[in-house]
Amino acid sequence: MNIHSIYIHIVELPTIRPHKLSMHTITKQTIVVAQINDTEGLTGWSEVATIGGASYGEATPEAIKVNCETYITPHLIGKNPQQFNLLMYEISKTVSGNYFARALIEGALIDLAAKQRNIPAYDLLGGKIHDSLPVAWTLASGDTGKDIEEAKELLQQKKHRIFKLKIGVGDAMENVEHVLKIKKEVGDVARFTVDVNQAWDETTANYAIARLQDGGVSMIEQPLPKWNFEGMSRLTERFSVPIMADEGANSIHEIFQIAKHRSGNSIALKICKAGGLQATKTVAGIAEAAGLGLYGGTMIESSLGTAIGLHVYSTIPHMEFGTELFGPLLFKDTITANNIEYNNFDVVIPGGPGFGMIIDEEKLNHYKRF
């Protein structure tokens, strides 16, 4: 059951509302989907997402597709997907960087390898520890009243009791007051975090974080530009509220440096940043050894990419800050025939062979750009 063919698709899914970040507002999300077929008719599927093309990182959807098709997939035709560890090691020797592309291919290999054995993918990653994980929701309408109403409704539905606010756009102190008004109105039944998406300088961060800390906000994500590791270290030392590294926490080497210099005391895991599922587990191990808290981050993936994240995060012992895998709830439609389950403030780890998601190929073709 060796690899017969590989296809890379670029897909655009519309969102239920604009989703505002400091670098981009999402009204439709671009995802890249890999399809690896074996000689017996089984298919492995995988997904990575980008934000605003090149707004979040250096990888664009178009570059991911071209690099996969040109430099990665020729190494895989005719190979055994059960040897996904060896295959990805060989690819790493000839393809430098390209973490999003490598994560995309590795995910599809693992999905296919697990389907060939008729087991869940998490069994290939050490085995599941968690059946479900806490899940945050991002309040990103930009309107205080709407955000309060949205938070209260989601609490009543028992979907979320962790809320993140994106506050990197506009006046920093006005954004801080926006957060504190929402927190006061919703009350202590929920936990609130903020994500600055690199938008502040260190002076602004010192004033703003002091106010947020006094107001009871429970975590500050990437307040400074990703290159400013020394500034992140100073903020981490000064404040008791956790400072989380995200855009600055990518490869295993960066995670080691963050741990060594305490450039944050928690990190956001993302499979695409680390370069794959196995690399994500390595990153988590480095963080655990250094006493850094872990957060299961998102690039706003669809149900397929969310399932991949859940299978990895389910094998990690301590996810102190829960997850942010709300992506499927933000989309008007899906490319899978089954859905991710959310209940009792948690997201449920999907079962079944591979990542447990059944691709609706008609929907895939409908939303496919090319």
| Pairwise CA distance, residues 339 & 307, whole Å | 9
Q: Residue 5: enclosing H or E segment and its boundaries?
A: strand 3-20
DSSP state of 368: B
Burial string for 147-180 (b: 16+ CB within 10 Å, else e) reads bbebbbebbeeebbbbbbbbbbbeebeebbebbb
Q: Which of 212, 149, 201, 146 is nearest to 179 (CA)?
A: 212
Phi, psi of 159, deg, nearest 5: -95, -40
Q: In the numeric block, which tokens belong to residue 71?
A: 């430099």
Q: Residue 31: enclosing H or E segment and its boundaries?
A: strand 25-38
| Pairwise CA distance, residues 216 & 193, whole Å | 9
Cβ atoms of 310 and 334 within 8 Å: the answer is no
349, burial (CB in 10 Å: exposed 0-12, middle 13-18, buried 19+): buried
DSSP state of 240: S
The long-range contacts involving 142-145, CB below 8 angstroms and separated by at least 24 positions, are 142/18, 142/20, 142/169, 144/178, 144/181, 144/182
Active site residue 184: no
Q: Residue 245: enclosing H or E segment and its boundaries?
A: strand 243-245
CA 282-324-244 angle, 5° bins: 60
Tell me which of 115, 159, 166, 183 is the catalytic residue: 166
Instruction: Catalogue the active-site residues.
Output: 166
